[in-house]
């Protein structure tokens, strides 16, 4: 059962409480709409992240498998020497995007150069294939990192919004409604008592 707010039963306070109740109901509706939209975006993002993670893991597993075969055909010193001077660079640009009034990260990958910077004479062709597969997986890995980070940000915002919705729905709004009912009843009692007094005074005068 909702408790009452500690206010004096008078007309001015009743008007203030009714205004607060109207604002609380509007706020509750807006927050509930935001919560529902956040949940839709969250569920969609989770599904995309799960599918993308499966794709990335499959690509990396193939790349590591090919790389393992390449290592078996090359000595460790030769392999390390061949891969010690890469000419391809990769940078991740971190920006911000707005999603239902929530700031989420937006990652953009920029790559320059090529992967075949090693000596072909001393390394097997499988090295090229493995590195090519790693290169193909890198943009997806960056995209996955952005999506999974966005999932965590949305999850935190959903929890905060849920607590605010519940606080309005189950605490503040019921308290305001109960207080308004109580004050309305008390003011009606005051009016009846005043009317009874006035009638008695009128009878005494007449």
One-letter-per-residue 3-state SS of the chain: CCCCCCCCCCHHHHHHHHHHHHHHHHHHHHHHHHHHHHHHHHHHHHHHHHHHHHHHHHHHHHHHHHHHHHHHCCCHHHHHHHCCCCCCEEEEEEEEEEECCEEEEEEEEEEECCCCCCCCCCCCHHHHHHHHHHHHHHHHHHHHHHHHHHHHHHHHHHHHHHHHHHHHHHHHHHHHHHHHHHHHHHHHHHHHHHHHHHHHHHHHHC
Second CATH level (architecture) for the domain 11-195? Orthogonal Bundle (1.10)
Q: What is the pTM of this model?
A: 0.79
Segment 102-143, tens digit of pLDDT: 999 999 999 887 765 555 555 677 888 888 899 999 999 999
Least confident of 46-50, 65-69, 87-91: 87-91
pLDDT confidence of 8, banded at 50, 70, 90? confident
């Amino acid at each position: 059962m909702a408790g009452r707010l500690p206010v004096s039963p008078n007309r001015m306070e009743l008007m203030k409480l009714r205004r607060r109740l109207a604002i609380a109901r509007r706020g509750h509706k807006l927050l509930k709409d935001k919560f529902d939209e956040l949940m839709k975006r969250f569920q969609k993002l989770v599904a995309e992240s799960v599918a993308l993670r499966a794709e990335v893991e499959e690509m990396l597993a193939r790349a590591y498998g090919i790389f393992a075969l390449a290592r078996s055909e090359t000595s460790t010193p030769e392999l390390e020497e061949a891969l010690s001077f890469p000419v391809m660079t990769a940078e991740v640009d971190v920006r911000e995007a707005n999603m239902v009034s929530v700031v989420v990260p937006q990652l953009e990958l920029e790559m320059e150069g090529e992967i075949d910077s090693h000596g072909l004479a001393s390394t097997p062709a499988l090295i090229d294939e493995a590195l090519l597969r790693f290169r193909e997986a890198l943009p997806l890995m960056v995209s996955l990192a952005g999506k999974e980070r966005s999932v965590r940000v949305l999850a935190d915002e959903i929890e905060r919004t849920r607590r605010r919705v519940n606080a309005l729905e189950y605490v503040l709004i019921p308290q305001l409604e109960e207080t308004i009912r109580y004050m309305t009843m008390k003011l009606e009692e005051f009016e009846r008592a005043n009317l009874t007094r006035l009638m008695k005074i009128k009878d005494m005068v007449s």
